[in-house]
């Protein structure tokens, strides 16, 4: 494996020295377990990417940095693997820093480490907080462009945002729910993984605006303690349902939809309309089972292709990207599921 790829490439991918790679590959002592895992993971990433693309053309090494549930990072990695096969004659290599939960300080350390070891660009999904913006500024000053993915940060140093038009998505969810609920008066649960993510905040604000305009007597009950993970979401939604017996529908902007339904089931309450986001494996299964009314979907592969082109342009290796980088929302029901 090492001969097929080359120790220099592994060292660059892992962000370690050539001597460290040599010690790990030849099983010599003196390397910390965490560093050994990083080198082995770099081998896995390079093997996967080498199967996707040839090693011809100009090369770009980019970093994918995401705080997100594993179900979403998985579909993002799969989509990015497809995309890097489409950008010939350029060749993209990807380093991954992915975690379901990561403290802001950890994220900042990750971004600063990328700045020290170098990169052609960073694709970033992170909370919109000041320390993240400051870290993006430091990357910008080193000539490393940052493209925010799925959720934006309010900072001029990032070169572009690619992802869903979140305001349009929130208004679409309110429109659909208003019509699907019929004349029934009921409150709506809105579940967010973390409102520090600007995209989720935009969805919630737009949904609330549209819902109050259509149903001024109905309330929106916002739950933000689930972090997009199953067990915390079950607990947080269960507490909300106990306090708010009028809730009979859900708009989930942050995932863990199986956990939301488990909380309704435990409370022996119906969820008459349930609208979620993203076509991950969990949501596809819930759609097929008729437990989700609809999923608001966007073309993640197209977003990632745009992101790679933004990086190329920032590195003076491609034309300017499209003027609008926000994806239109698609409404997916059990009757128009995309082909596998």
Q: Residue 54: is its pLDDT beyond 80?
A: no
Spatial contact of 257 and 282, defined as CB atoms under 8 Å apart: yes
Share above pLDDT 70 across residues of the chain, in percent, rounded to a whole number = 94
> Which CATH number covers residue 43?
1.10.260
Residue 322 is predicted with a pLDDT of 72
**Same domain membership, residue 182 and residue 150:** no
**Same domain membership, residue 288 and residue 174:** yes
Among 12, 27, 52, give the residue marking a domain's end.
52
Provide the 8-state DSSP code for 246: T
**Same domain membership, residue 36 and residue 8:** yes
**Same domain membership, residue 196 and residue 285:** yes
Provide the 8-state DSSP code for 218: S
Tokens 């705080």 belong to residue: 67
With respect to residue 335, please indicate whether it lies within any of the assigned structural domains.
no
Spatial contact of 162 and 102, defined as CB atoms under 8 Å apart: no
With respect to residue 313, please indicate whether it lies within any of the assigned structural domains.
yes
With respect to residue 333, please indicate whether it lies within any of the assigned structural domains.
no
Global confidence as pTM: 0.79
Determine the average pLDDT of the residues in 196-219.
94
With respect to residue 338, please indicate whether it lies within any of the assigned structural domains.
no
> Which CATH number covers residue 200?
3.40.50.2300
**Same domain membership, residue 120 and residue 175:** no
Boundaries of domain holding 145: 53-164+299-327
pLDDT (tens digit per residue) in 7-26: 888 888 888 888 898 889 88
Name residues whose C-beta falls within 8 Å of residue 161's C-beta, 6 or more positions apart in sequence.
147, 148, 149, 152, 325, 326
**Same domain membership, residue 292 and residue 275:** yes
With respect to residue 188, please indicate whether it lies within any of the assigned structural domains.
yes
With respect to residue 9, please indicate whether it lies within any of the assigned structural domains.
yes
**Same domain membership, residue 303 and residue 158:** yes
With respect to residue 178, please indicate whether it lies within any of the assigned structural domains.
yes
**Same domain membership, residue 306 and residue 211:** no
pLDDT (tens digit per residue) in 298-327: 889 999 999 998 998 899 887 777 766 788
Question: How many domains is the chain built from?
Answer: 3
**Same domain membership, residue 113 and residue 86:** yes
**Same domain membership, residue 293 and residue 174:** yes
Cα→Cα distances 148→50, 68, 93, 143, 326, Å: 26, 13, 18, 16, 11
Reference 273, options 255, 295, 256; nearest CA is: 295
With respect to residue 334, please indicate whether it lies within any of the assigned structural domains.
no
**Same domain membership, residue 15 and residue 78:** no
**Same domain membership, residue 136 and residue 100:** yes
């Amino acid at each position: 494996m090492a001969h097929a790829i080359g120790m220099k490439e592994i060292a660059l991918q892992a962000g370690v020295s050539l001597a460290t790679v040599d010690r790990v590959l030849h099983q010599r002592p003196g390397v910390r377990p965490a560093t050994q895992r990083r080198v082995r993971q770099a081998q896995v990433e390079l093997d996967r990417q080498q199967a996707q693309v040839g090693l011809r053309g100009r090369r770009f090494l980019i970093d994918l940095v995401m705080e997100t549930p594993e179900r979403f990072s998985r579909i993002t990695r799969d989509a990015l693997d497809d995309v890097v096969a489409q950008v010939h004659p350029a060749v993209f290599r990807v380093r991954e820093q992915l975690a379901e939960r990561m403290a802001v300080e950890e994220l900042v350390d990750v971004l600063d480490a990328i700045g020290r070891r170098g990169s052609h660009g960073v694709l970033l999904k992170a909370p919109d907080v000041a320390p993240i913006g400051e870290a993006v500024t430091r990357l910008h000053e080193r000539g490393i462009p940052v493209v925010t993915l799925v959720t934006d940060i309010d900072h001029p140093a990032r070169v572009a945002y690619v992802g869903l038009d979140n305001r349009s998505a929130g208004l679409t969810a309110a429109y659909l729910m208003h019509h699907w609920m019929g004349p029934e008066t009921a409150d709506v649960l809105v579940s967010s993984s973390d409102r520090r993510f600007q995209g989720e905040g935009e969805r919630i604000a737009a949904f609330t605006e549209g819902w109050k305009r259509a149903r001024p007597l109905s309330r929106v009950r916002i739950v933000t303690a689930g972090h997009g993970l199953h067990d915390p979401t079950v607990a947080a939604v269960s507490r909300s349902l106990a306090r708010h017996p009028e809730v009979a529908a859900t708009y989930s902007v942050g995932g863990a939809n199986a956990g939301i339904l488990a909380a309704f089931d435990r409370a022996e309450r119906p969820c008459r309309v349930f609208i979620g986001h993203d076509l991950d494996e969990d949501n596809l299964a819930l759609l097929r089972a008729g437990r989700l009314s609809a999923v608001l979907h966007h073309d993640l592969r197209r977003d990632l292709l745009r992101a790679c082109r933004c990086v190329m342009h920032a590195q003076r290796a491609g034309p300017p990207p499209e003027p609008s980088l926000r994806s239109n929302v698609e409404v997916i029901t059990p009757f128009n599921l995309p082909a596998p």
